[in-house]
Amino acid sequence: MRAVELNAPGHAPLTLWLRPLTGADEMALAGTGTAVAMTLLDRLAEGADHAGLTVSQIDRALAGIYDTLYGSRAECRVACEACGETYEFTLDLPQIIAEQDADRPGPPDADGAWTMEGVARVRAPKPADLVDDPDTLATRLTVEGGASAETVGAFLETAAPVLTLDLAACCPQCATSAQVRFDLASYLTRRLDSERPFLVREAHLIASRYGWSHGEIMALTRDDRRAYAGLIEAERARLSRRQTA
């Protein structure tokens, strides 16, 4: 189990416990995007009461899943619209989170709302807030008083930051600047989706070598499954070298 802290330092501690990813979890994910990421979180936080998490806290949980599977860095690839060349840059997710935390105001009150400039009290959005009319989002998030949608949005970008970011990039070939949208939920689920052929191959190797059922293999954690498959492939490679020696 992995503990992921969902609140910034200085805020009330909130820890989510995530179990290891299994093949069954990977097989249950169909496609990419936010809904798939939520399915993944629902499975790995099995038994946890996380229905009331904010979008900001959910992104912290997804960052914890990403770090467990792939480490702290995300490699982003961009196709330059000017010259057509493809280039890459790297994001350090813990660094981004630390920078977001450094800019946050103090913690919200006991009811989860902040008093904003002494004018209005606002709360962080939850997933259910994002499915309705976006034009009324600021109104739904305003607990008391009133403020413009722009003011509420700007405050919550700092108070309850998310890991959907508009990043400045520059093509190393022609120096053309670009704005690149990074969305952690989509990035994480795309990486997992791209690994489906490896999952099938690893299951085939283990079934062929040990005769285990599909259900038994899918119940293995991702790390254990890859370790078994790696041992089988190493053994096959040794036998092949002996036969050709």
Same domain for 179 and 91:
yes
**Residue 203 half-sphere exposure toward CB, CA atoms < 13 A:** 20
Find the mean pLDDT for residues 118-142. Answer: 87
Contact 83, 173 (CB under 8 A): yes
Q: What proportion of the chain, given as a percentage, has pLDDT over 70?
A: 99
pLDDT tens digits for 95-109? Answer: 999 999 999 998 999
pLDDT for the residue numbered 245: 65
Find the Cα–Cα–Cα–Cα dihedral 154, 160, 164, 165, rounded to 10°: 50
Find the mean pLDDT for residues 51-75. Answer: 94
Which has more pLDDT, 46 or 21? Answer: 21
Q: Cβ contacts of residue 230 below 8 Å, gap of 6+?
A: none
For the chain, what is the domain count? 3
Rounded Cα distance, 156 and 154, in Å:
6
Nearest by Cα to 26 from 158, 194, 144: 194
Is it the case that residue 118 has pLDDT exceeding 80?
no
Q: What proportion of the chain, given as a percentage, has pLDDT over 90?
A: 70
Same domain for 135 and 35:
no
pTM of the model: 0.91
Is it the case that residue 63 has pLDDT exceeding 80?
yes
Task: Name the pLDDT band for 130 (thresholds 50, 70, 90).
Answer: confident
Is it the case that residue 235 has pLDDT exceeding 70?
yes
Same domain for 30 and 11:
yes
Which residues form the domain of 231?
197-244
Is it the case that residue 54 has pLDDT exceeding 70?
yes
Q: In the structure encoding, which two tokens stand for residue 92, read together?
A: 């350090």
Same domain for 137 and 38:
no
**Residue 147 half-sphere exposure toward CB, CA atoms < 13 A:** 22
Same domain for 117 and 36:
no
Same domain for 28 and 142:
no
Same domain for 232 and 115:
no
pLDDT tens digits for 145-203? Answer: 988 889 999 999 999 999 999 999 989 989 999 899 999 999 999 999 999 999 999 99
pLDDT tens digits for 206-218? Answer: 999 999 999 999 9
Same domain for 150 and 96:
no
- One-letter amino acid for residue 226 of the chain: R
Last residue of one domain, picked from the residues 133, 159, 185: 159
pLDDT tens digits for 7-20? Answer: 998 888 999 999 99
Which has more pLDDT, 111 or 204? Answer: 204
Same domain for 231 and 203:
yes
Same domain for 94 and 69:
yes
Contact 29, 191 (CB under 8 A): no
| Residue recorded with tokens 């330059």 | 80
Same domain for 68 and 176:
yes
Same domain for 168 and 217:
no
pLDDT for the residue numbered 119: 81
- Bridge partners (DSSP) of residue 165 are 182
